[in-house]
Amino acid sequence: MIEEFLKTEKSAIDAILEDYFKAMRKSENDILIKDFIKQLEKFSINPEAKRIHPILLIAAFGGIVNRMYLEDNIDIVRRASIAVELLHEGNLIHDDLIDNDLKRRGKPTFHIQLKKDIEQIYKNQNIVRSEEKKELYGRDLSILGGTLGYLLGLDILKASKFPDNVKLLAINEYSEALNYLIRGQIIEEYMDDHNITMSMEQYLNIAELQKARIFEKSSKIGALLARGNIHYQIQPLSEAMLKIGQAYAIRDDILDIEEDILQQKKKFLYIISIQNTNEEQSNRLQEVFSKTEKLKSDDIKHVKEIFKETNAFIIADHFSKNLVEQAKKDLKEIYPDLNKDQKLFFEEFTEYIYTRTK
């Protein structure tokens, strides 16, 4: 059931996003802003995008709203749902820029996309310090592009066809989600630049701020738009989504292990492993993660072997599974219960997070 639901809703969201950017470009008079919107659209409209956040919003709305009114409101809530997708896109743009990542969803990251675009303009021109200017162009416009994504999401909620009092509640949750994302990024950058190795508690805190909270807020916005009961429906759903978001972050670290090692990121597996290493293993990890030159395939292989020898993979798997089981218990606390189809979706979604392979 979940694969079909994800596929159907992703297709609908993609179409709405395309219409949204098309309308934006059509209504914009300034040719430079129009071109920038086109760049943002190029980054956002990607077949590899999962659209999980708007799908959670839609599922939460459908789970709580009276089933008699769901069909009449589905288009309205789908259009409102792209608010959290644009919040997510803005965060990806800023995150990729801070980490200097080159690829996102199989394509250039936004700052690299912009850099490549300006390279074509500079191609046959004699520009003083052209390399520096290309880097600055990609960086500066990515800062603005990510911020614009946040603001566009906010505008979508403001323009949605829900009562003002309900929209105000949704906007408040959206603002809190943005605050959590920024706080998580600040903490992570402080720790990275001060060379502080995360504890398990610090990792989970950052995972909550950067991943879990946007899961929770997306679902909560959908539930609020459906006028769900705060204490008996929205609260347990929010608790479940926080745990699912943390499990999602851990699963990401398992799936992205080679890329994270290559970029010398000390994620969940590293934190577990370093607590269980002998002296030789510890020294080897410290050596690899402090190298100034690009890591080789043997370096990655050795780190993965140490992770395996210290049972980091097994512990991470069990930790993620435990979060999923706790989330299932939270979902059972929802009363009145979610509508049948959406209840099944959320139950299957918890397993999907734990077993996904990409």
Domain limits of the chain?
A: 1-168
Dist CA 108 CA 212 (whole Å)? 26
Dist CA 279 CA 169 (whole Å)? 53
For residue 286, how far is the Cα from the chain centroid?
29
Two structure tokens written together for 184: 């998580």
pLDDT exceeds cutoff 90 at 342 = yes
pLDDT exceeds cutoff 90 at 130 = no
pLDDT score for 127: 78
Please provide the average confidence, as pLDDT, over all residues in the chain: 95
Q: What's the pLDDT tens digit per position in 139-153?
A: 999 999 999 999 999
Q: 3-state DSSP call for residue 158? A: helix
Classify domain 1-168 at the CATH topology level.
Farnesyl Diphosphate Synthase (1.10.600)
pLDDT exceeds cutoff 90 at 128 = no
Q: What's the pLDDT tens digit per position in 179-228?
A: 999 999 999 999 988 888 889 999 999 999 999 999 999 999 999 999 99
| Helix intervals (H) in the chain | 2-27, 31-44, 52-64, 67-99, 110-122, 130-159, 164-193, 200-207, 213-225, 235-255, 257-262, 268-274, 279-289, 297-309, 312-332, 340-355
Model confidence at 116, pLDDT cuts 50, 70, 90, reads: very high
Neighbours of 138 (CB within 10 A): 24
Model confidence at 121, pLDDT cuts 50, 70, 90, reads: confident
pLDDT score for 78: 98
pLDDT exceeds cutoff 90 at 110 = yes
Percent share of the chain, pLDDT over 90: 92
Model confidence at 4, pLDDT cuts 50, 70, 90, reads: very high
Dist CA 294 CA 312 (whole Å)? 24
pLDDT score for 32: 96
**DSSP symbol at 48:** T
